[in-house]
Chain A
């Protein structure tokens, strides 16, 4: 975060903000799922974020299933009821009042298309996804099963490869032409492309 690097287009890019929701988080073992959290908010301003779940049953869990975004029922609910500290509390500034729903991903920063330049990055990019159309369920297989015994803390480290936010399957999200998304675009083209890219950027360490 806040460090310049070259993305897939060889643009100089600096990510200044990355916040997102994960919804309906479940662990899976051989087709059996256990729900651990309806929605969780992550702010990677310090290059990482940590959550603690104390309700994961004992077992050997082999996969995580979750949605990128806020599940539909929660997304449509009145946000005023969520207390301070709740992932959906208004104080987080993630709510789109006009659409009565949350931003799912807030990805902000600066860039310059000249990869050989050395000056400050001046061009802003700000891509915020949201609305039910952008909710995307996905699985993250765990390289080694998460063993939950009930007598100690077990850890899963999710890795999010931000460089992959700009490409997937041979398609490139070109900041020169796709740098803004704030809802209201009926094609949702940038938001949907970013959503697909992010889902494919998740892995486990």
Chain B
């Protein structure tokens, strides 16, 4: 007799989506992703039991937050805007500065960060291990009691299932359904992929991001130095990982610090070419859009919204 926690987890991929890299040592199983989902939304991961991963990565907003900087325990503010977790399985490195190499190690950061969950893995695991259902799933998934190792593996497994690719744009582009997008949205797509706007220099591929690090001239002097914090190379000052544009209509505010509230502001910024920071990306052209073109471009970006939840774990 099987249950919904037996056997491998069959990842549902949208048309056009490549299989994301799944570490051989971390296969997706129904038990691991179920456990990971439960842990993801469990506030007992935080010191005072008030904050879960899902507190800042809201499912209704493609697993991003609605504020510039999310609130951790004791009302503390995080350092950067919480990004969407859609398609995080495809990311070759995590965080906007790329400082963490895989999802398993990424899980440690919010739990240990004094501004987020302010806990220790050991104490969090001890608390969660009191829950019999967790022990059952942990044994099923990993053959061991719930501990810090299991927590990192299970949450990473769940996060790898958050595949975004169910938008009207996907039906239009990958399935040839011309009617899936309106004329305005199609015109926006034409603008988006034009050499004039050059958006696709970075926002390309299935995830609409090449995951490169770019300085977009948001500031002349960056309080948050971005990629430079990791590489210690001044040529990386102000560079941040190019974000996906999937579900971009749901993930405001925008930029690494959430400084831009609307897509209109973002487009205006890119149209200006950005401020002349020494590391400003050479891929940023100045361009001019009339009001209709700007509306069409925004309409296209709205068409990148998934038509149903990207959470496929029951």
In contact, B100 and A98 (Cβ under 8 angstroms) = yes
B205 at the binding interface (Cβ < 8 Å): no
B198 at the binding interface (Cβ < 8 Å): no
B233 at the binding interface (Cβ < 8 Å): yes
A113 at the binding interface (Cβ < 8 Å): no
* Contacts known (A81-B149, A98-B99); A186 close to B229, Cβ less than 8 A: yes
In contact, B108 and A95 (Cβ under 8 angstroms) = yes
Shortest A114–chain B CB gap in Å is 32
A170 at the binding interface (Cβ < 8 Å): no
In contact, B229 and A80 (Cβ under 8 angstroms) = no
In contact, A98 and B95 (Cβ under 8 angstroms) = yes
* Contacts known (A97-B100, A186-B237); A80 close to B148, Cβ less than 8 A: yes
B257 at the binding interface (Cβ < 8 Å): no
A90 at the binding interface (Cβ < 8 Å): yes
A78 at the binding interface (Cβ < 8 Å): yes
Q: Which residue of A lies closest to B106 (CB)?
A: A97
Tell me the bound Cα distance from A187 to B233 in angstroms. Answer: 9
A188 at the binding interface (Cβ < 8 Å): yes
In contact, A100 and B101 (Cβ under 8 angstroms) = yes
* Contacts known (A95-B108, A97-B113); A186 close to B225, Cβ less than 8 A: yes
B279 at the binding interface (Cβ < 8 Å): no
Instruction: Report which of A80, A100, A184 forms a contact with B100, defined as CB distance below 8 A.
Output: A100
Per-residue CB contact flags for chain A residues 59-87 toward chain B (1 = under 8 Å, else 0) read 00000000000000000101111001000
Per-residue CB contact flags for chain B residues 101-115 toward chain A (1 = under 8 Å, else 0) read 110110011001100
Number of A-B contacts (CB under 8 A): 61
B122 at the binding interface (Cβ < 8 Å): yes
In contact, A78 and B120 (Cβ under 8 angstroms) = no
In contact, A98 and B232 (Cβ under 8 angstroms) = no
A153 at the binding interface (Cβ < 8 Å): no
In contact, B148 and A90 (Cβ under 8 angstroms) = yes
Q: Which residue of A lies closest to B120 (CB)?
A: A91
* Contacts known (A91-B122, A95-B108); A80 close to B113, Cβ less than 8 A: no
Q: Which residue of B lies closest to A97 (CB)?
A: B109
A133 at the binding interface (Cβ < 8 Å): yes
A131 at the binding interface (Cβ < 8 Å): yes
B230 at the binding interface (Cβ < 8 Å): yes
Q: Which residues of A contact B233 (CB under 8 A)?
A: 186
Q: Which residues of B contact A81 (CB under 8 A)?
A: 149
A99 at the binding interface (Cβ < 8 Å): yes
In contact, A98 and B109 (Cβ under 8 angstroms) = yes
* Contacts known (A97-B100, A99-B99); A131 close to B232, Cβ less than 8 A: yes
Q: How large is the interface on A (under 10, 10 to 19, 20 to 34, 35 or more residues)?
A: 20 to 34
Interface set, chain A 133-162, CB cutoff 8 A to B: 133
* Contacts known (A100-B105, A186-B229, A186-B233); A95 close to B148, Cβ less than 8 A: no
Per-residue CB contact flags for chain A residues 92-113 toward chain B (1 = under 8 Å, else 0) read 0101011110000000000000
B121 at the binding interface (Cβ < 8 Å): yes
Which of B101, B112, B225, B233 has the largest count of A CB atoms less than 10 A from its CB?
A: B112
In contact, A186 and B152 (Cβ under 8 angstroms) = no
Tell me the bound Cα distance from A133 to B109 in angstroms. Answer: 22
* Contacts known (A90-B120, A90-B148, A97-B113); A78 close to B225, Cβ less than 8 A: no
Shortest A8–chain B CB gap in Å is 28
In contact, B229 and A184 (Cβ under 8 angstroms) = yes
B234 at the binding interface (Cβ < 8 Å): yes
Q: Which residues of B contact A78 (CB under 8 A)?
A: 102, 104-105, 152
Interface set, chain B 225-255, CB cutoff 8 A to A: 225, 228-230, 232-234, 237
Per-residue CB contact flags for chain B residues 128-160 toward chain A (1 = under 8 Å, else 0) read 000000000000000000001100100000000
Q: Which residue of A lies closest to B151 (CB)?
A: A80
Contact sample, A vs B, 14 pairs, CB 8 Å cutoff: A78-B102, A80-B121, A80-B149, A90-B120, A90-B121, A93-B120, A95-B108, A97-B100, A98-B229, A100-B100, A100-B101, A186-B233, A186-B237, A187-B232
**Nearest 10 pairs of A and B residues by beta carbon:** A97-B109, A184-B229, A186-B232, A97-B108, A80-B149, A186-B228, A91-B122, A80-B152, A100-B100, A97-B112
Residues in chain B within 8 A of chain A (CB atoms): 95, 97, 99-102, 104-105, 108-109, 112-113, 120-122, 148-149, 152, 225, 228-230, 232-234, 237
Residues in chain A within 8 A of chain B (CB atoms): 76, 78-81, 84, 90-91, 93, 95, 97-100, 131, 133, 183-184, 186-188
Other than the known A80-B149, A188-B232, what 7 A-B pairs have Cβ atoms closer than 8 Å?
A81-B149, A90-B121, A97-B113, A98-B100, A184-B225, A186-B228, A187-B232
